[in-house]
A and B are shown apart, each in its own frame.
Chain A
Amino acid sequence: MSLLKKWILLLSVCCTATTLLAQKYTISGYISDADNGEKLIAANVFDQKSVAGTVSNTYGFYSLTLPADSVILSFSYIGFQSQEVRLLLDKDIKLNIALSASVNLTTVEVVSEKLERIEESSQMSRIEVPIEQIKKVPALLGEVDVLKTLQLLPGVQSGGEGQAGLYVRGGSPDQNLVLLDGVPVYNVSHLLGFFSVFNADAIKNVTLTKGGVPARFGGRLSSVLEINMKEGNMEEFHGEGSIGFVSSKLTLEGPIIKDKASFIVSGRRTYVDLIARPIIRNQAEEDGDQADLKLFFYDLNAKVNYKINDKHRLYLSAYNGADVFGFETRQNLSENNFTELEGNTDWGNLISALRWNYQISNRLFANTTLTHSRFNFDFGSSVAEVFGEEQDFFSAKYLSGIYDWAGKIDFDFIPNPNHYIRFGGGATHHTYEPGAIQFELEFDDDFQQIQLGSEQSKSWEYSAYVEDDMQFGALKANVGLHATLFSVNGQTYQNVQPRVGLRYLLNNDIALKASYTKMVQYINLLTNESLSLPTDLWVPSTERVRPQDAWQTAIGVATTVFDQYELSIEGYYKQMRNVISYKEGASFIGIENDWQDRVTQGDGEAYGVELFFQKKKGRTTGWLGYTLSWNWRQFDEINSGERFPFKYDRRHDVSLVLSYDFNERISLTGSWIYGTGNSITLPLYRYTLFSQVDIENIGRKNAFRMKPYHRMDLNLSIANKKRKFKKWQSTFNIGAYNVYNRNNPYFVTTGLTASGERTFRQISLFPIVPSISYQFSF
């Protein structure tokens, strides 16, 4: 044998041996809830032998590629009993796992030791709040509110008393990407912001990302709020609901074809109008007139999912919610002569999504989504005077809205435990109705229609991304790029946004984390700072109004102490450019010019430190959050070009949430929040120009601080005794909002005292508000 042949043989043997040694196989499948078939998001899969692991994605899919060997796989999820599976991994294996809910302990108490702990994730500034915990937190009038619970987290603020908007790390509510089953929701609140549109009974999972946003998300500057609806019980018919002061809710779910297709329908409606309507009608009839009232909001969630086979699955989900305020009066002047007056204010969202999951291989998973989202606001009134067969008529309507059609495809590729690669892209078509006023006039059979205000405009937004969650020993990194292209009225903007998240494990319990995020936002919400009205307008970036962009960097430390306390401290710095604001003197109601003439763009700067201390186990659970922050804005055309504190600049923000389980049936939850008062603009002095022109001077914008806000809420839950074979379960919730009746500032207005002297008054909204609600499930 020649030397060459020997070398070739040796090389072949080495290669074969190396191949055999490096032979890897993949275990993949879905992780679901054994009781109802719901897919579990971010459930942990961990091989105890190789110390490698992964988590399930939004659709419960997981994939773990390991060297050929025997493996001890542990599957775990918060509130569920862990499951251990021993396998000989000598081929690719498909393994679907159903985890059972813990029976002896309440849901939020249970955290398996093998769950991904705070210090393990490469992502920082991300918080998942279990829906069961959200349901326990005391709420205004007993209305369980997802967004208000999130306001109790560090780095997240409320705008004011009872408001549902989220102000995340110096951002404004329009800078949050709120996704309901992957579809953007534009208006997240009902009743002037007092209640959020999300019905907790229909929700499976809530995750807020305040910084270090992964590359798969884009389009907003400040945060991503992912809310996933339940899929519907695959096993059996099930229902739950509640009856409260403000509204009642009912959710029904069950299999259409067992283990193949399921549905969920959930509805909520308020009923103040049902109580007030007869009173108003009677009152009007006593005066010989007619009157009617509409005053309610509703939400309707529905979802159907169909498992075509092991590789293909379809989801169709929809949400419709609206606020309806209106009145009708008819004043009878004589037999055939009367005056009719009508007023309406309606606004709401309609969103729908069709999703197709396709498991292309045991390492590659695809999700294709088609979505539609619509938010519209209509405000109008009309007067009709009828004289026999003749009629004079006048009506005025204010219309605004935003309508989206979108398609996107996302891939998850998990080549080995050290890499989790996501990539994809999508396109969205926006249509904007940025505030039009329509007049209709009918007089002496002459009919006229006039439309004023800004014209409808349309835009296309394209995006593509790639990210890899990778691990190198103690270092874990999530590195990605998000690229966007936005086209409106012949103007095109393009941006590449790098994202980096790093985690370095100092030891088993302490991790250092850092992140850098660049974000770009092409759509803007024009909002009046003095009021929170749904008249806020969604408008696109244009040739004159450039896209907003921001970069944020954060650094922090995360640790788990005594296995049950999580502590994280994060510092952040965020710079925003081209943020939008109404010019001085401008208002949303201006119809004499285009919206672009009423706005100006400037810069924002926010920085601060957040502390989050959480206890997840035991009879007492809860968290303490504290934020020390600064938040500035600078516009050339506002405040003489000098920077000023943002209205929601809040130096100190504290939230304490504690829940104590007396036993399996009774628990008491309390929350206490404190926040520095909002910055507002008030005239502070008067001076005279020329001989007698009096000017009220505000000095500097937002120079006046309202009083600090603080409040305590309590909620006591008493459940009925659980009986075997009896499905009906019920819980009474008795609570109080603002327990010590603090007069918290809502807004400041000017008025006259009894002696006619001018004065400034703080208006507070809610004194102590008791609540009682009854929850049931069957």
Chain B
Amino acid sequence: MKLFKNIITIVCLLLLVSCSEDFFDSITEVEIPEHEPRLSVTATFNNNIRKQRVFVNYSVGILDDSPNARRVPDADVRLFEDGVLRNTFTYFSRMDGNSNEEVGWFESDDLEFLPEKEYTLVANSDTYGQATASQQLPTEVPINNLTFKENGAVDIYGDRGNEVTLEINDPAGEENYYSISALVFYRFEDQDTKALIGEPVPVSPVDPILEDLNSGIFLNDASFNGEAFTLRAAVFFEKEEGQLGFNYRRAERIRIVLSSISKDRYLFEKTLSNYYDNRDNPFAEPVIVHENVEGGSGIFTLTTPSEAEINL
């Protein structure tokens, strides 16, 4: 009986100790580990463009109340080719008309990338430390043949559009990743103006091998590695729009751009798309957006585009 009394006494003491104002409060604050701000770098370079931008910001803890754009204007941003300094970037900024916020970036106007060289982007900040990322230029894969058929395709969603087919020879012995985009050149005729204007148009997969992500059409060569392959996509535009003499335009030719991209770029686009699609779904599994920046966050990629045109 002595043991029984002891146990009862202990339980009563525990109850008393537990009693407080928030005795039945079932919600408690969770302490999140403190985040040390670091640089976030975004640079998606295209080898056909000489003047391109690097965006440098800093990261903050998830509970920090700070503006979205956290620029680091005093960062030092450089590009190295096989360890040798190739470009130094300069900071520019302007006011964004839509958001009425300042937008800032680093820019260099002499960018050119060579195959089999390793390019390292280095951003340094006295406050946020150093962030680096390295890439090689993806192998150029030319479009061997391009065909166009008006209203000749039904995409994976069941919509009818213009069909384009691209014949390529996928390089053997390496993983290759691609994106496809299209530009239509319109002959614009108005009472006062006559011009040829290029305009991006929507592209949609016909073959399920093409992945329709938020920022475009992407694919990998897992199913045709090292082989000749024909890609089929639907392109949506009208050949003629408007009325003669009034906002009339006629599609004159189409340019298809097949970009060879790195695996990092492919994974980045895929996970970013997944992130946007599901970030408001409480039942969705969490998504990690792919990064390749060491010492910080973000993405650095190189792209090698190939183009082919066809008159409509």
Residues of A at under 8 Å CB distance from B?
528-531, 581-589, 638-640, 660, 662, 668, 670, 681-692, 694-701, 704, 712, 714, 736, 739-743, 748, 757-765, 767-768
B312: CB under 8 A from chain A?
Answer: no
Q: Tell whether, in the assembled complex, residue B32 and residue A682 are in contact, meaning their CB atoms are under 8 Å apart.
A: yes
A766 nearest in chain B by CB position: B26
> For A584, what are the chain B residues with a Cβ–Cβ distance below 8 Å?
271, 274, 285-288
A695 nearest in chain B by CB position: B289
Q: Tell whether, in the assembled complex, residue A685 and residue B285 are in contact, meaning their CB atoms are under 8 Å apart.
A: no
B1: CB under 8 A from chain A?
Answer: yes
A703 nearest in chain B by CB position: B33
Question: 1/0 contact trace for B234-250 toward A, CB 8 Å?
Answer: 00000000000000000
Q: Tell whether, in the assembled complex, residue B69 and residue A688 are in contact, meaning their CB atoms are under 8 Å apart.
A: yes
B19 nearest in chain A by CB position: A741
Q: What CA separation (Å) do A714 and B10 show in the bound complex?
A: 12
Q: What CA separation (Å) do A748 and B287 show in the bound complex?
A: 17
> For A682, what are the chain B residues with a Cβ–Cβ distance below 8 Å?
32, 62
> For A691, what are the chain B residues with a Cβ–Cβ distance below 8 Å?
55, 69, 96, 103-105
> For A740, what are the chain B residues with a Cβ–Cβ distance below 8 Å?
14-15, 17-18
Q: Tell whether, in the assembled complex, residue B289 and residue A697 are in contact, meaning their CB atoms are under 8 Å apart.
A: yes
Contact of B35 among A685, A759, A767, A768 (CB under 8 A): A685
In the A-B complex, the 4 residue pairs with the smallest Cβ-Cβ separation, listed nearest first, are A687-B40, A687-B59, A688-B57, A587-B283
Contact of B11 among A531, A586, A714, A763 (CB under 8 A): A714
Contact of A685 among B60, B267, B275 (CB under 8 A): B60
A685 nearest in chain B by CB position: B35
User: Restricting to B13-27, which residues have a CB under 8 Å from any CB of A?
Assistant: 14-15, 17-18, 23-27
Q: Tell whether, in the assembled complex, residue A531 and residue B29 are in contact, meaning their CB atoms are under 8 Å apart.
A: no
From known contacts A662-B4, A760-B63, A762-B28, infer whether A701 and B288 are also in contact, taking CB-CB under 8 Å: yes
Q: Tell whether, in the assembled complex, residue A688 and residue B70 are in contact, meaning their CB atoms are under 8 Å apart.
A: yes
Q: Tell whether, in the assembled complex, residue A684 and residue B26 are in contact, meaning their CB atoms are under 8 Å apart.
A: no
B49: CB under 8 A from chain A?
Answer: no
From known contacts A528-B283, A685-B62, A689-B42, infer whether A762 and B30 are also in contact, taking CB-CB under 8 Å: yes
From known contacts A691-B55, A761-B30, infer whether A686 and B285 are also in contact, taking CB-CB under 8 Å: no
A688 nearest in chain B by CB position: B57
Q: What CA separation (Å) do A742 and B15 show in the bound complex?
A: 10
B109: CB under 8 A from chain A?
Answer: no
> For B282, what are the chain A residues with a Cβ–Cβ distance below 8 Å?
530
> For A692, what are the chain B residues with a Cβ–Cβ distance below 8 Å?
68-69, 99, 101, 103
Q: Tell whether, in the assembled complex, residue A739 and residue B288 are in contact, meaning their CB atoms are under 8 Å apart.
A: no
B297: CB under 8 A from chain A?
Answer: yes
Q: Tell whether, in the assembled complex, residue A690 and residue B62 are in contact, meaning their CB atoms are under 8 Å apart.
A: no
Residues of B at under 8 Å CB distance from A?
1, 3-4, 7, 11, 14-15, 17-18, 23-30, 32-33, 35, 38, 40, 42, 55, 57-65, 68-70, 96, 99, 101, 103-105, 267, 271-272, 274-275, 277-279, 281-290, 296-299
Q: Tell whether, in the assembled complex, residue A639 and residue B288 are in contact, meaning their CB atoms are under 8 Å apart.
A: yes
Q: What CA separation (Å) do A366 and B278 show in the bound complex?
A: 55
> For B57, what are the chain A residues with a Cβ–Cβ distance below 8 Å?
687-688
Q: Tell whether, in the assembled complex, residue A587 and residue B281 are in contact, meaning their CB atoms are under 8 Å apart.
A: yes
> For B104, what are the chain A residues with a Cβ–Cβ distance below 8 Å?
691
Q: Tell whether, in the assembled complex, residue B281 and residue A687 are in contact, meaning their CB atoms are under 8 Å apart.
A: no
Q: Tell whether, in the assembled complex, residue B289 and residue A701 are in contact, meaning their CB atoms are under 8 Å apart.
A: no
B65 nearest in chain A by CB position: A757
Q: Tell whether, in the assembled complex, residue B275 and residue A695 are in contact, meaning their CB atoms are under 8 Å apart.
A: yes
From known contacts A684-B32, A760-B30, infer whether A585 and B4 are also in contact, taking CB-CB under 8 Å: no
From known contacts A686-B60, A689-B298, infer whether A585 and B28 are also in contact, taking CB-CB under 8 Å: no
Q: What CA separation (Å) do A483 and B303 show in the bound complex?
A: 52
A581 nearest in chain B by CB position: B285
**Least Cβ distance of A176 to chain B in Å?**
23
Q: Tell whether, in the assembled complex, residue A684 and residue B35 are in contact, meaning their CB atoms are under 8 Å apart.
A: yes
From known contacts A584-B271, A689-B55, A740-B17, infer whether A698 and B288 are also in contact, taking CB-CB under 8 Å: yes
- 9 residue pairs from A and B, CB less than 8 Å apart: A686-B61, A688-B68, A689-B42, A691-B69, A697-B297, A743-B26, A759-B30, A761-B30, A764-B27
**Least Cβ distance of B95 to chain A in Å?**
12
Q: What CA separation (Å) do A708 and B284 show in the bound complex?
A: 26
Q: Tell whether, in the assembled complex, residue B285 and residue A684 are in contact, meaning their CB atoms are under 8 Å apart.
A: no
> For A701, what are the chain B residues with a Cβ–Cβ distance below 8 Å?
286, 288
> For B103, what are the chain A residues with a Cβ–Cβ distance below 8 Å?
691-692
Contact of A686 among B7, B59, B274, B287 (CB under 8 A): B59
**Least Cβ distance of B294 to chain A in Å?**
13
> For A741, what are the chain B residues with a Cβ–Cβ distance below 8 Å?
15, 18, 23
Q: Tell whether, in the assembled complex, residue A690 and residue B55 are in contact, meaning their CB atoms are under 8 Å apart.
A: yes
**Least Cβ distance of A658 to chain B in Å?**
10
Q: What CA separation (Å) do A587 and B282 show in the bound complex?
A: 9
**Least Cβ distance of A649 to chain B in Å?**
17
Q: Tell whether, in the assembled complex, residue B15 and residue A586 are in contact, meaning their CB atoms are under 8 Å apart.
A: no
Contact of A761 among B17, B28, B272 (CB under 8 A): B28
A689 nearest in chain B by CB position: B42
> For B68, what are the chain A residues with a Cβ–Cβ distance below 8 Å?
688, 692, 694
A670 nearest in chain B by CB position: B7
Q: Tell whether, in the assembled complex, residue A759 and residue B29 are in contact, meaning their CB atoms are under 8 Å apart.
A: yes
Q: Tell whether, in the assembled complex, residue B42 and residue A529 are in contact, meaning their CB atoms are under 8 Å apart.
A: no
A741 nearest in chain B by CB position: B18
**Least Cβ distance of A153 to chain B in Å?**
23
Q: What CA separation (Å) do A739 and B16 show in the bound complex?
A: 11
> For B27, what are the chain A residues with a Cβ–Cβ distance below 8 Å?
761-764
Q: What CA separation (Å) do A765 and B279 show in the bound complex?
A: 26
> For A694, what are the chain B residues with a Cβ–Cβ distance below 8 Å?
68
A694 nearest in chain B by CB position: B68
Q: What CA separation (Å) do A342 and B229 show in the bound complex?
A: 54
Q: Tell whether, in the assembled complex, residue B278 and residue A587 are in contact, meaning their CB atoms are under 8 Å apart.
A: yes
Could you list 16 further interchain pairs (A-B, Cβ under 8 angstroms) beyond the known A528-B283, A689-B272, A695-B272? Answer: A530-B283, A584-B271, A584-B285, A585-B275, A585-B277, A585-B287, A586-B285, A685-B61, A687-B40, A689-B298, A692-B101, A698-B288, A701-B288, A736-B11, A740-B14, A760-B29
Q: What CA separation (Å) do A696 and B276 show in the bound complex?
A: 11
**Least Cβ distance of A190 to chain B in Å?**
22
Q: What CA separation (Å) do A582 and B288 show in the bound complex?
A: 14
Q: What CA separation (Å) do A765 and B299 show in the bound complex?
A: 41
**Least Cβ distance of A489 to chain B in Å?**
19
Q: What CA separation (Å) do A327 and B167 show in the bound complex?
A: 59
Q: Tell whether, in the assembled complex, residue A587 and residue B285 are in contact, meaning their CB atoms are under 8 Å apart.
A: yes
B36 nearest in chain A by CB position: A685
> For B63, what are the chain A residues with a Cβ–Cβ distance below 8 Å?
757-760
Q: What CA separation (Å) do A529 and B15 show in the bound complex?
A: 34
Contact of A684 among B18, B62, B101, B284 (CB under 8 A): B62
**Least Cβ distance of A435 to chain B in Å?**
13
> For B285, what are the chain A residues with a Cβ–Cβ distance below 8 Å?
528-530, 581-587, 638
> For A759, what are the chain B residues with a Cβ–Cβ distance below 8 Å?
29-30, 63
**Which interface residue of B4, B14, B57, B275 has the most chain A CB atoms within 10 A?**
B57
